[in-house]
Chain A
Amino acid sequence: MVGELIEPGAFSEDQVAAISGEEFSKKRRTASLSRFLELGLPSQAEEDWRYSRIEELDLANFRPTVERPSLPASMQFGDGVGVREVINALEILAPRAYVALVRLLSDNGIAALAVTLNGWGVLTTDSSVVAVDHTTFGGGLSQSFGLDSVGELAQAFQPESVTVSLPDGVRMEGAVAVLHLLVDLPDRSGLPGTQGAALAASFPSSRIEVGEGSQVDLVEMFFPIPGSSANDLASLVVAQSEISVGQAANATLTTVQELGPEAWFVCHQASDVAKDASFTSFTVSVGGHYSRFRTDSRLSGTGGETRLLASYIGSDSQMHDFRTLQEHAAPRTHSDLLFKGAVADEAKSVYSGLIRIEKGATKSAAFQTNKNLVLSEGAHADSVPNLDIEENDVKCSHASTVGPVDADQRYYLESRGIPTPVAESLIVEGFFSEMAERSPVGAVEPVIKDKVARLLGQAILPETGSGVSGAAFEDLA
């Protein structure tokens, strides 16, 4: 699209210049900014943004976080801070993140942890594994899949990157967690071109490199700090994640998006999987007003395999938007995608996925399944699978379903005396339990369960224990 320059508002060269950094990084930002201004925000007429709500995004309401937010007192540690201390401090700052991390800590253990505030790195527990890097930028991997204008905007305003680097032959005991917290702007006064008080725009990013033969579980979480504008008012979060999985390495990345109900969230996850390597991406998206994950995965080496999994649950007027690419660029590569979502109230979801098998990627196999539960009349799910296959000697399949809770399943449970809302929530929970089973880390299960329970407007179903828990249902019965 050739457009005239859009009004930069707060996303101006002045603001880019206000971000501290080396001269070369300023140049790079400025170049990205001018490409963004030339392109403008995407239009929903573009295939990649069809069915989305990007045209409702008004940048004039936001301004980028160009200065490092000050660290809350509870998070101020000296050198050599431990994982436990950081997690305890998070209990006050971001209780939901705390719960997920404590669960993760008890199930898998956490080897190293990094925290960012509005994309600015503020804390790392083990600099040999995870660091905040403002001199070297990634972007190459995202770019190799083609950056859209929102990606250019991200690269213009990313203050720094969390880098996770694992040398060859390392087997991490416990997960490496990257926690992106969203806070108020220190100064919310408007800038020329913004409408009144500005809201925070944040550009968190991470670059992950897994060395040959190494093994690691990674977790990336996006959470607001309660009571900040990032939780209650609108906020804009544009994230980039890049993962290179080295030869014969084995990596999993679990991403949890649990932002406030007014948040705009756009994330580009780009991965490259080398020869004989294995990569699992598991995404859980429950928050936000508009939440978009673009998940691009390239199998660039023979025998590589990737599993792309996602669970998403929408309520109220939320929209969850997923665009996926399974790119097979080498022989005997294997990709398996399973995205399952539920929408209730007036919520919407979009799934659009492409399997691309390049010439020469012989004996490859690619599978893509998207299943959607539509829980109310006002809710809506779109599912658009696509194939682009340039090689004959391959195995491919795709399937998608969109529909309400199965009436026969509900009848069966009701005929056992289970009230309709409880029967439905059991079925919805059952729908997602397959995902929880395939999750690389245990931490995501309560996030899904909690959202299912909230969305069905009732208390979480009790765990089955030793007795019959009739009393718990008295309100319903």
Chain B
Amino acid sequence: MSTGNDNALSLVVTGLKASVGGTEILHGIDLEVRPGQVVAIMGPNGSGKSTLSHVLMGRSGYTVTEGSARIGDTSFLEMPVWERARLGLFVAHQYPVEVPGVPMEKALEIAAGFQAGATDDAGGPIGDWKERLSREVKNVGFEPAMLSRAMNADLSGGEKKRNETLQITMLRPKIAVLDEIDSGLDVDGLKVVAKRLERATDEWGLGVLAITHYNRLLTELHADIIHVMVSGRIVATGGPEMATQLEATGYAQYIGEPTPA
């Protein structure tokens, strides 16, 4: 929900082109996510939605060939991955990987030590870390015992997505890119995760860029703006009503296939 405050902390992507292995996947993306806003990118498989999340976060193998991306006044496409995160960018990964032997809680706490958003003005943690952690664990319906397990080890698809959400609440980024956070979550899980993220947009003005294939995420996490992405381009932009419309018609009208009569 747009609070409209402090647009100096918006994510602004301008004319972004990127390629993988010499093949251009993104052909010039423009978008903006303001603090507190939920912006959705919908589109068929293979349209470059996940590529956008990797390019923004700086995953190796993805090359930016043109364009810019910034949070506030800070351009970040030249930064190493961890500095982008420090700037306030977070990607909830579509397939969170297991990191053997690295306990979830330890990694999170070390990560928080590097995050401006996770600390107060004096550099200390916001509130009591342990107390917040146990509260947020409850909020997203994550099993507390899993905190001492290795990161993402032996978690179900849904648990992994709850874990990604938990990390957002603890690290408090400015912008969260959700790469298919709905995949793996059952109906109840989806509700819990969407509700918590929507609350975060008010709580600290989290800006959300929700990448999804299906409407079902957006019935819970209400988008202010919806972009339709096809073949590496944004081909249509609309308001929340667009999600229901897409649910009925699919993406056919945007990919040049004949619309059924």
A residues within 8 Å of B by Cβ? 406-409, 411-420, 422-423, 426-427, 429-434, 461, 464, 466-473, 477
Shortest CB–CB separation between residue B150 and chain A, in angstroms?
A: 7
Check A431–B171 contact: CB distance below 8 A: no
Inter-chain CA distance A406–B101, complex, in Å, is 13
Whole-angstrom distance from the CB of B137 to the nearest CB of chain A? 15
Q: A419, B114: Cβ atoms under 8 Å? A: yes
- In this assembly, does B102 line the interface, its C-beta being within 8 Å of a C-beta of chain A? yes
Question: Interface readout for B206-228 with A: 1 if CB under 8 Å, 0 if not?
Answer: 00000000000000000000000
Q: Is the CB of B100 within 8 A of A416?
A: no
- A126 → chain B, closest Cβ, in Å? 37
What is the interface size of chain B, counting residues whose CB is below 8 A from a CB of the partner? 41
In the complex, A477 Cα to B82 Cα: how many Å? 10
Give the shortest distance, in Å, between A420 (CB) and chain B (any CB). Answer: 7
Complex CA gap A139/B100 in Å reads 41
Does B85 reach chain A (CB closer than 8 Å)? yes
B96 within 8 A of A: yes
A470 touches B81 (CB 8 A): no
Contact in complex: B114, A418 (CB < 8 Å):
yes
Q: Which B residues are in CB contact (< 8 Å) with A414? A: 80-82, 85
Chain A's interface: helix, strand, loop or mixed, by majority?
A: helix
Can you identify 30 A-B contacts, CB atoms within 8 angstroms? A406-B97, A409-B99, A411-B81, A412-B93, A412-B99, A414-B81, A414-B85, A415-B85, A415-B90, A416-B82, A416-B171, A417-B111, A417-B115, A420-B80, A426-B99, A426-B107, A427-B102, A430-B99, A431-B101, A434-B100, A464-B105, A467-B124, A467-B125, A467-B129, A468-B119, A469-B110, A469-B113, A470-B123, A470-B124, A473-B113
From B99, B114, B130, contact of A477 by CB (8 A): B114
The 6 A-B pairs with the shortest beta carbon distances in the complex, nearest first, are A430-B101, A417-B85, A433-B101, A470-B113, A416-B111, A414-B81
CA A472 – CA B171 in complex, angstroms? 18
Q: How far is the CB of A431 from chain B (nearest CB, A)?
A: 6
Q: Which residues of chain A have C-beta atoms less than 8 A from B91's C-beta?
A: 415
Complex Cα gap A43–B196 (Å)? 67
Q: A422-B110, A467-B124, A468-B129 are in contact. Are A430 and B100 (CB under 8 A)?
A: yes
- B167 — which chain A residues lie within 8 A by C-beta? 416
Contact with A along B98-134 (1 / 0, CB 8 A): 1111110111111111110011000111000110000
Question: Are A471 and B123 closer than 8 Å at their CB atoms?
Answer: yes
Closest to A468 in B: B125
Bound together, the chains give a CA A423 to CA B86 distance in angstroms of 14
Contact A415 B60 (CB under 8 A): no
Contact B109 A468 (CB under 8 A): yes
A430-B99, A430-B100, A466-B129 as given contacts; A416 in contact with B107, CB under 8 Å: yes
Distance, CA A299 to CA B66, complexed state (A):
65
Q: Which residues of B contact A412 (CB under 8 A)?
A: 93, 96-97, 99, 151
Any chain A CB within 8 A of the CB of B57?
A: yes
Q: In the bound complex, what is the Cα–Cα distance between A187 and B130 (angstroms)? A: 60
With A422-B110, A470-B114, A470-B119: A413-B99 Cβ-Cβ less than 8 Å:
yes
The answer to whether A464 and B109 have CB atoms under 8 Å apart is yes
Contacts of A432 in B (CB 8 A): 101
Specify which of A406, A415, A468 is in contact with B93 (CB 8 Å cutoff).
A415
> Knowing A468-B109, A468-B129 touch, does A411 contact B86 (C-beta < 8 A)?
no
**Does B59 count as interface, using CB distance less than 8 angstroms?**
yes
Candidates A420, A426, A434, A466; contact of B110 at CB < 8 Å? A426
Q: Which residues of A contact B100 (CB under 8 A)?
A: 409, 430-431, 434
A-B contact sample (9 more), CB < 8 A, given A412-B96, A416-B107, A470-B124: A406-B97, A414-B81, A415-B90, A418-B110, A418-B114, A429-B101, A432-B101, A468-B124, A470-B123
| B129 partner residues in chain A, CB cutoff 8 A | 466-468
Alpha-carbon distance A64/B138, docked complex (angstroms): 66
- Chain B min CB distance to A458 (Å): 13
Give the residues from 47 to 76 in chain B that come closer than 8 angstroms, CB to CB, to chain A.
57, 59-60
Are the CB atoms of A417 and B114 closer together than 8 Å? yes
Across the two chains, which residue of chain B brings its CB closest to A466? B130
Bound complex: CA A207 to CA B107 (Å): 44
Of chain A, the residue at the smallest CB distance from B103 is A464
Q: Given A412-B99, A416-B107, are A423 and B151 neighbors across the interface (CB < 8 Å)?
A: no
Docked Cα-Cα span, A418 to B102, in Å, equals 13
| Bound Cα distance from A411 to B84, whole angstroms | 12
- How far is A461 from B112 in the complex, measured between Cα atoms in Å? 14
B98, B102, B124: residue with the most chain A Cβ atoms closer than 10 Å: B102
CA distance A429 to B102 in the complex (A): 8
Interface pair A407/B171, CB less than 8 Å apart: no
Which one of A417, A419, A432, A467 has the greatest number of beta carbons of chain B within 10 Å?
A417
- Please name the residue on chain A nearest to B112 by beta carbon: A468
Cα(A415)–Cα(B86), bound, Å = 9
| Interchain CB contact under 8 A, B82 and A419 | yes
Assembly CA distance A427 to B257 (angstroms): 47
CA distance A419 to B100 in the complex (A): 18
On chain A, the residues within 8 Å of B108 by CB distance are 416
Listed residue (B99, B115, B150) with the most chain A CB atoms within 10 angstroms of its CB: B99
